[in-house]
Structure 1
Amino acid sequence: MQTANKKSGTYLYLVCLVAALGGFLFGFDTAVISGTVGFVKADYSLDAAGEGWFVSCALLGCIVGVIFSGKLSDKYGRKIVLIISAILFLVSALGCMLAGSFTALILFRLIGGLGIGVASMVSPLYISEFSPSRYRGTMVSLYQLALTIGIVIAYFSNAYLVNHAHDVYTGAALNNIFSVQVWRAMLGLGAIPAAIFLFSLFVVPESPRWLLLKGSEAKARVILTKIDGSEAAEHEIKAFKEQGTEDQTSLRELFKPVYRKALLIGLLLPFLSQVCGINAVIYYGPRILEQAGFTLNNALGGQVTIGLVNVVFTFVAIFTIDKWGRRPLLFAGVGGAVVALLVIGVLFYLNITAGPWILIFILAFIACFAFSFGPVCWVIVGEIFPNGVRGVAMSLATLSLWIGNFLVGQLTPAMLESLGSSWTFWLFAICCSPALWLTWKLIPETKGRSLEDIEKHWKLSQPKN
């Protein structure tokens, strides 16, 4: 039996894995849409604007969810807000499956978006606060790994359901969901992981740093001891007290000169990670691959391959981020992504669509994103902000991410129609490039540093008058 003053690595991993289920649902919900777009477009006779609205309405919900989740998580705790997100996921999945009209479908997509927005902010925040500094990069990367697994499971389930859409099902309702309007089954399957996430959250503890922020030192000490042992727990509590224990959650704190650089990183890095085009591939991958000469079934199969590459290369970040650091992964991954996007644009421009070349370079782009932008962005934005305003700051950073995501989701169909595939990918390359400058000039290396040490870094780097 685990004694009170002993640490448990299993406990750390299990709690972080539960929190990472928010990432799984985030990935599943955002990727499952790629297989439904064509069917919903046909069933409801949607034009390009309607198609974009169907995809991006959930992203609008994400933006609203993020706006409120920071304040709520700072006031009421990380755990209760994660529970709310799980409930929203569950309601959305069941509602989309049973929606009686396009308006109802959009409404439940918006509800799901609220859940995604909340989970996308609070899950990595919770993990970053829960994890010891030497494991923090790996643990937060588990969130991105769960996200990529959610994406690939969505692709597999979409492909499976499409291949079995002509099967005969007993009962008119089941036949409609799984055959006549198979997109209902695609969206409804999200209810299973949402229910697992919801019930699992009731057995995990609150974030120890949030407890310290609220003056519950005894409860925080018990959790920290179980995570990393009594000696490390006392060190963490001492470091927290040295930084000041006052509960300062005002947005004004972030605009003080000492934190302006952190705020700039927190706003720009998530935004750039989205306008590089990753979700154009996630949302509209089958359509892009069809333009490259693939049939629908082959395009869905190619989308599964994209998802698998995303998962595999996320492991590169998990195994290296706490050894090599955040900056080297960003330089290598962002640079590779820019090159891959430029080459994809050239291939489309020269009409070299026969053979596997476009898919190969799309996979190269996904691989570069998966070990850099994807996980490293979440790690950095979970580290760079001070304890007292971390929830509010993370909500701003995640809001920036979802604004970029919304723009890509809404504009990609129109860009593909008006600009063509070549210029669409070249624009993504142009939008991706500033992340190299951001990494070089502004982002500090945070490998192995405690959250309090990182906060101290900003104070010590403040220019003296």
Structure 2
Amino acid sequence: MCLIYFCPESPRWYMKKNRYQDAMKSLLRLRNHPIQAARDLYYIHAQLEVELDFIGEAHYAKRFIELFTIPRVRRATVASFVVMIAQQMCGINIIAFYSTSVFRDAGADDNQALLASMGFGLVNFVFAWPAIWTIDTFGRRSLLLFTFPQMAWTLLAAGLCTLIPGTGGAHMALVAFFVYLFAAFYSPGEGPVPFTYSAEVFPLSHREVGMSWAVATCLFWAAVLSITFPLMLARLHAIGAFGMYAGFNIVALVMIFLLLPETKQRTLEELDYIFAVPTRVFMRYQVTKVLPWWIRRWILFQREARLEPLYQFDTVGEPEDNHSSDFGYENDKAKVELKDTIGLTSGVQTTR
């Protein structure tokens, strides 16, 4: 906390207050060269001008209401809600909040429970580092779709290991091993992805209020979990609690598959277009196109299997064949909806 006082203030905040000299000083501390600082000063200024054109003097409450009334923004709101509540559904905080109680319920004494809790925190820290590379290499959605099944079976395995008779070292070692494996899958996936994803899905005009909504969702359900889990652990013990959250992982996996578009390396304009596609169209595409392709490619090992894209950024509404005509038509409708939607970003292009 003491180190926060040595951090430079946000240049964007300074510029909103018309303190451009202070903003430049912050940018000079954040960038390697004055030319880079000057470039970003102009870039942020242009972004703020675009925001002002769209939202004007709109009140914060009005923009919050628009999270649920503007179709493009509403889809981003739903996506951020799903990815944030999934972080609580995966079960990470039942261990992070109550790790000592969980290990003690599994048969560990006080010292063993404390040591196991320390190991859990260490694994969580170490395996979060690969996300710096994987989150932009494999994508946000891909990481979630891969790690949630792994978290489900490792959490279930940890719960089943509590049924092993005896309280010896091997008993606790197995429980701790699967809990650590669970944390290793969580850390590069559902750990960093929700906050990264939620920060980029909203247009500039609604990004602040949208991110506030996303974080509030995460913390609200974390509070619900912290209140309900002790009762769950007392009645169901570790096996029941772990088994229930393993099931929640599968539910979260389905929600992510059906409701979360990929945002990796998309510009703001492309994200506007992606979230202008109706939710039912995206869900139908996942069920009728992506799922059959995945089965053919990765279960039947048919290398010739091809997946037609849902988004056509260069030639919208001009399908290559009859099979893609429905989705081409929906892309046209998304384009029209995008033009009619207020509060979206345009004129400033940002590559992620």
TM-score above 0.5, yes or no = yes
Instruction: Name the CA distance, whole Å, in 2 between partners of 1:292 and 1:269.
Output: 30
List gaps (5 residues or longer) in structure 2: 279-332, 338-352
Compared with structure 1, are the counterparts of its residues 330 and 304 closer, same or farther at alpha carbon in structure 2 (3 Å cutoff)? same
Q: Does 1:400 align with 2:207?
A: no
Higher helix share: 1
Correspondence list, 1:298-313, <5 A: 298-313=112-127
Q: How much has 1:325 moved relative to structure 2?
A: 1.7
The structure-2 alpha-carbon separation of the partners of 1:353 and 1:257, relative to structure 1 and needing over 3 Å to count, comes to farther
In the alignment, the residues of structure 2 paired with residue 265 and residue 207 of structure 1 have an alpha-carbon distance, to the nearest angstrom, of 29
Matches within 5 A, 1:186-201: 194-197=1-4, 199-200=5-6
1:138-178 per-residue CA deviation (whole Å, 9 max, x = no partner) reads xxxxxxxxxxxxxxxxxxxxxxxxxxxxxxxxxxxxxxxxx
> Cα deviations across residues 159-198 of structure 1 (Å, max 9, x unaligned)?
xxxxxxxxxxxxxxxxxxxxxxxxxxxxxxxxxxx3343x
Distance in 1 (alpha carbons) for counterparts of 2:14 and 2:271 = 20
Q: Which residue of 1 aligns with 2:67?
A: 254
Counterpart amino acid of 1:318? I
Distance (whole Å) between structure 1 residues aligned to residue 165 and residue 41 of structure 2: 60
Change (3 A) 1:455 1:303: same
Q: Give the aligned partner of residue 317 of structure 2.
A: none
Q: Deviation per CA, 1:318-366, whole angstroms, max 9, x where unpaired?
A: 2221222212211222121111112122223455764111100000111
Which of 192, 206, 209 is residue 389 of structure 1 equivalent to? 206
Alignment of 1:82-231 (within 5 A): 194-197=1-4, 199-200=5-6, 203-208=7-12, 210=13, 227=31, 228-231=36-39
Contact 2:261–2:274, Cα closer than 8 Å, also in 1: no
Note if contact 1:273-1:432 (Cα within 8 Å) is conserved in structure 2. no
Relative to structure 1, the CA distance from residue 373 to residue 352 in structure 2 (aligned partners, 3 Å threshold; closer, same or farther) is farther
Q: 1:318 to 1:433 in 2, by over 3 A?
A: same
State which drifts further: 394-403 or 357-366: 394-403
Q: Percent identity?
A: 26
In the alignment, is the contact (CA less than 8 A) between 1:313 and 1:371 conserved in 2? yes
Change (3 A) 1:325 1:349: same
Mark the runs of 5 or more structure 1 residues left unpaired by the alignment: 1-193
- Partner-residue secondary structure (3-state), 1:440: helix
Give yes or no for contact 1:317–1:329 (8 Å, CA) kept in 2. no
Structure with higher Rg: it is 2
Query: Aligned with 1:267: secondary structure?
Result: helix
Hey, what does 2:153 align to over in structure 1?
A: 339
Tell whether the 8 Å contact from 2:90 to 2:252 is kept in structure 1 after alignment.
Answer: no
- 2:259 corresponds, among 442, 446, 452, to 442
Change (3 A) 1:264 1:423: same
Q: Cα–Cα, structure 1 residues 330 and 291, in superposed 2: closer, same or farther, change >3 Å?
A: same
Q: CA deviation at 1:396?
A: 1.5
Q: Distance in 1 between matches of 2:19 and 2:207?
A: 18
User: How far off its partner does 1:276 sit?
Assistant: 2.1
Alpha carbons of 1:379 and 1:331: their partners in 2 closer, same or farther (altered >3 Å)? Answer: same
Q: Which of the residues 419, 432, 441 maps onto 2:236?
A: 419
Matched, 1:409 2:213: no
For normalisation by structure 1, the TM-score amounts to: 0.52
Measured on the aligned residues, the alpha-carbon RMSD in Å equals: 2.9
Q: Please list, as runs of the form range in 1=range in 2, the aligned pairs for 1:232-311 lying within 5 A after superposition.
A: 234=42, 237-238=45-46, 241=49, 244-245=53-54, 246-248=56-58, 249=60, 250-255=63-68, 256-311=70-125
* Change over 3 Å in CA distance of 1:446–1:300 after alignment to 2: same
Distance 1:241 1:452 in 2: 16
